[in-house]
Structure 1
Amino acid sequence: MKPIAHTLLAASAGAVLAITVPTAVSAARENETWRELDTLMDVFLKVRESYVEPVDDKKLIEGAINGMLASLDPHSSYLDARDSEAMRSQTDGEYGGLGLTVSTEDGAVRVVAPTDDTPAARAGIKSGDFITHLDDQLIFGSTLNEAVDKMRGKPGTSIKLTVVRPGAPKPLTFNLTREVIKVRPVKWEAKGNVGVIRISSFNRQTGEATRQAVTELTSKIGPNLSGFVIDLRSNPGGLLDQAIDVSDTFLERGEIVSQRGRAKGDIERYYARSDDLSGGKPIVVLVDEGSASAAEIVAGALQDQKRAIVIGQRSFGKGSVQTLIPLGPDSGLRLTTARYYTPAGRSVQEAGIEPDIVVPQLTDTTRNDRPRLREADLRNHLIAEKAVDEKLVEDDGKPDPRFKMTAEELKKQGVTDFQLDYAVRLVGRLGPSAPPAVQVAATTK
């Protein structure tokens, strides 16, 4: 590891020498930085020499790197060979495991979202659940990598998960069988004259699959097609280019998203390039507190361009862009390098996407018992550049008088997914000869 250390020091030294006439303030700052680096090296040497057991140098250095990045924000991280391979397999759309997106929070493993049609989703594991034990072994305090490694394994083998669900009277137990997870990011079906497109993630196939969905639904339903529902609920995000591709599918022109980095002039803008494949049909976008990142880009673009009505619950609020920076043949850096903005110049960081129509999931009987964890709840999250209205961030918990029906009453009517049913009925009311979405959205605010 010494060559790496020397390389870093040489780069730093070069930066200092480039300043021909340093100011007193900059010189003092550089001296302070060198003192801190000396302290870091002193700690490294003391640990290596005096710790009760021999410690691998690589383990110590990677621990220091991880600690450095953890002090920045929740989405910056160091990727070793295992992490890099896991990220590639997920963006390619195939990996082994249970089908869970998880994070760590104060030493606890929290479920961000289960992936559709995977062992975790079929068993009923929900966003916001906390995994406390794997095969009866406590995992509290484990690193995220350690927890993920235990959940992955040979397809066909079993694992027992103990889950604490806020509001549940006692821990829940799930016995799951590992599978090869082949993520199908887009599914579609016709519900009457409405095309429903479910997008569960943004991997390399998402854009093309979305265009295929629009084409096949248009052909299947025919001239009586009322419009489309785009379901982005519990979609944790993914690749930026795929979010742009999906948005472009439904837009004729205009900006989709912009990203702005640290420097004032470091701005990139992305625009619609192709025709609206849906032919201008009405669109309703479904989001919830699990809709994050790339999902929020799509929802925000279609909302700001007055192309769609957004309904559901306020989204997660992840408005930052991560860049993958290679550090070697098998390692890299996942670093937050920019914030993204909707076409109207809104940053969704912390506040998320606010729906045009707030629609609770009445058919989920546990919705009021589970915490609605969002970006603003994560430790060291980026602070929004503009102050966020606390009314958007905090839910007063009061029931909406417009939605009084119980899950039992809805079940008797054959409704198992109230939000989706509401979206389909809304598009159906618009009909083939509906007014432009801009007019409809104005009347539903």
Structure 2
Amino acid sequence: MQITRLLTILLLCWLMPAAQAAEEAPAPGNALTLDELRTFTDVFNQVRNNYVEDISEQTLLRYAIEGMVQQLDPWSEFMDAETFRQLGDVSAGRYGGIGVRVDILAQRLFIEAVTPGGPASEARILSGDQLLAVDGVPVRGRPLGDSMDALLGEPGSTVELRVRSPGEAARELTVTRDYLTVPSVFRKPVDGDIGLFHVSHFTRHSHEELRAAIDDLGADLGGPLSGIILDLRGNPGGVIDSAVAIADGFLDRGLIVYTRSRYAPTQIEFRAEPGQWTEALPLVILVDSRTASAAEVLTGALKDHGRATVIGARTYGKGSIQSVLALRNGAGLKLTTAHYFTPSDTVIQGHGIVPDLVLEDQSVEVLETTELDAGIRAAIRTIRGKSLP
């Protein structure tokens, strides 16, 4: 009954100023009436008292909040305190784990790679080891995704593993999880001296990763690159500031992106500053129907300025900002507060970016194969055929 009384008090607090204001001026057309607010409390009471299962008032209130937010759009979200904290870790490009990349072969889990200096490396887990059990639960007979998820957890917590190296007996290990950096940029040379850079998502450090990757690949090849392929296929977006910084790295001047919003903190405009990372170097961007959000902002800016040739399929069309708002109880609200517009006033939301050269949409894992797909081959031909888009 406490929440019911609280709802009644909140309704009165809501209505009293409205009643006072009504004596001075007509109520706005979208103002809630007393009957409308009473309907909410009536529904709340009916569900609490008569629903087939007993559900706590706290749970019902959370359902009401979640339902309100979910009806807005697919991206707004109410987050409890733990989810809110985890969101901060993801945007920072880090997670709690043991530092391994796991591969699935013949319905078994194998360690594909070990992060140098990470917890797994310290525990002498090796690439090629088979993962047999996690926290006493055998991998066999369990959904493989559950075993993989069980490797993650709060930094400082421990996980019990049973692993086996090829030709050796299984061994039991206790590994302490730690914060691990999640790389977002992957590089390799193609067609000799062209750099292929796949950006999987945008963290706060992706622009720094990309600039370092460009410099490192040039150093590995012993000379300057002749062109750059920026592969944003499958990139769902992420931290917008990092995407803007990458656009700035390829532009000398001009508008990068701007927003329209009712929420003042998201009324923004980004402009490029003089100086490029790779001035006059040909640039091609690969996109597909999964390229979204911050990746579309980056693509739209470089396309509108004629700095890059865009190849692939029309992008997803998610051109909105989700502001993360902290609530007093430690929870958070991810709320759509603005829409992005490209320098040519193109709205991204619901439309996406149309490539200069349209190719059939593909599902590719570019850096896990030595075969060059159609998009990469088209990008190479574009770079070899002209100096600048």
TM-score (norm 2): 0.73
Q: Closer, same or farther in 2 for the Cα pair 1:96/1:349, shift >3 Å?
A: same
**Shift of residue 12, structure 1, vs aligned partner:** 6.1
**Alignment correspondent of 1:237:** 237
> Aligned partners of 2:136, 2:88: CA distance in 1, in Å?
19
Secondary structure at the residue paired with 2:54?
Answer: coil
Q: Supply the AA of the counterpart residue of 1:271.
A: R
**Alignment correspondent of 2:148:** 177
**Shift of residue 334, structure 1, vs aligned partner:** 0.9
4+ residue runs of structure 1 moved beyond 6 angstroms? 153-157, 159-162, 173-176, 263-266
**Shift of residue 278, structure 1, vs aligned partner:** 1.1
> Aligned partners of 2:325, 2:36: CA distance in 1, in Å?
25
**Shift of residue 274, structure 1, vs aligned partner:** 4.8
Query: How many residues get paired?
Result: 327
Give the alignment of 1:31-430 within 5 angstroms.
32-95=32-95, 119=102, 158=139, 177-178=148-149, 179-180=151-152, 183-191=182-190, 192-221=192-221, 223-262=223-262, 267-360=267-360, 415-430=371-386
Q: Closer, same or farther in 2 for the Cα pair 1:29/1:308, shift >3 Å?
A: closer
Q: Closer, same or farther in 2 for the Cα pair 1:19/1:67, shift >3 Å?
A: same
Q: Closer, same or farther in 2 for the Cα pair 1:258/1:158, shift >3 Å?
A: farther
> Aligned partners of 2:322, 2:90: CA distance in 1, in Å?
16
**Shift of residue 45, structure 1, vs aligned partner:** 1.7
Indicate which of 17, 24, 27 corresponds to 1:21: 24
Structure 2 unmatched runs, 5+: 107-133, 153-179
Q: Supply the AA of the counterpart residue of 2:349.
A: Q
**Shift of residue 8, structure 1, vs aligned partner:** 7.2
**Shift of residue 80, structure 1, vs aligned partner:** 0.8
**Alignment correspondent of 2:164:** none
Q: Between Structure 1 and Structure 2, whose CA radius of gyration is higher?
A: 2
- The 10-residue stretch of structure 1 (184-193 or 46-55) with the greater mean CA deviation from structure 2: 46-55
Secondary structure at the residue paired with 1:177?
Answer: helix
> Aligned partners of 2:308, 2:80: CA distance in 1, in Å?
41
Decide whether the 8 Å contact of 1:159 with 1:177 is kept in 2. no
Decide whether the 8 Å contact of 1:156 with 1:177 is kept in 2. no
**Alignment correspondent of 1:143:** none
Secondary structure at the residue paired with 2:73?
Answer: coil
Q: Supply the AA of the counterpart residue of 2:382.
A: L
> Aligned partners of 1:212, 1:268: CA distance in 2, in Å?
28
Q: Supply the AA of the counterpart residue of 2:343.
A: P
Q: Closer, same or farther in 2 for the Cα pair 1:76/1:429, shift >3 Å?
A: same
Decide whether the 8 Å contact of 2:312 with 2:357 is kept in 1. yes
Secondary structure at the residue paired with 2:24?
Answer: coil
Q: Supply the AA of the counterpart residue of 1:10.
A: C
**Shift of residue 10, structure 1, vs aligned partner:** 3.0
> Aligned partners of 2:69, 2:336: CA distance in 1, in Å?
10
> Aligned partners of 1:236, 1:161: CA distance in 2, in Å?
29
- Per-residue CA deviations over 1:88-141 (Å, capped at 9, x if unaligned) read 2221223369xxxxxxxxxxxxxxxxxxx9558x679xxxxxxxxxxxxxxxxx
Provide the alpha-carbon RMSD of the alignment: 3.6
> Aligned partners of 1:346, 1:44: CA distance in 2, in Å?
44
Q: Supply the AA of the counterpart residue of 1:259.
A: T
Q: Closer, same or farther in 2 for the Cα pair 1:316/1:57, shift >3 Å?
A: same
Decide whether the 8 Å contact of 1:194 with 1:428 is kept in 2. no
- Per-residue CA deviations over 1:209-250 (Å, capped at 9, x if unaligned) read 122122223434455521111110101111111111121111
Decide whether the 8 Å contact of 2:288 with 2:361 is kept in 1. no
> Aligned partners of 2:142, 2:233: CA distance in 1, in Å?
24
> Aligned partners of 1:67, 1:260: CA distance in 2, in Å?
26
TM-score (norm 1): 0.64
- Per-residue CA deviations over 1:386-445 (Å, capped at 9, x if unaligned) read xxxxxxxxxxxxxxxxxxxxxxxxx9xx73523223323432333xxx2x32xxxxxxxx
Decide whether the 8 Å contact of 2:263 with 2:338 is kept in 1. no
Q: Work out the percentage of aligned pairs sharing the same amino acid.
A: 34
Structure 1 unmatched runs, 5+: 98-116, 125-152, 163-172, 365-410, 438-445
> Aligned partners of 1:155, 1:207: CA distance in 2, in Å?
41
Secondary structure at the residue paired with 1:207?
Answer: helix
**Alignment correspondent of 2:155:** none
Q: Closer, same or farther in 2 for the Cα pair 1:218/1:66, shift >3 Å?
A: same
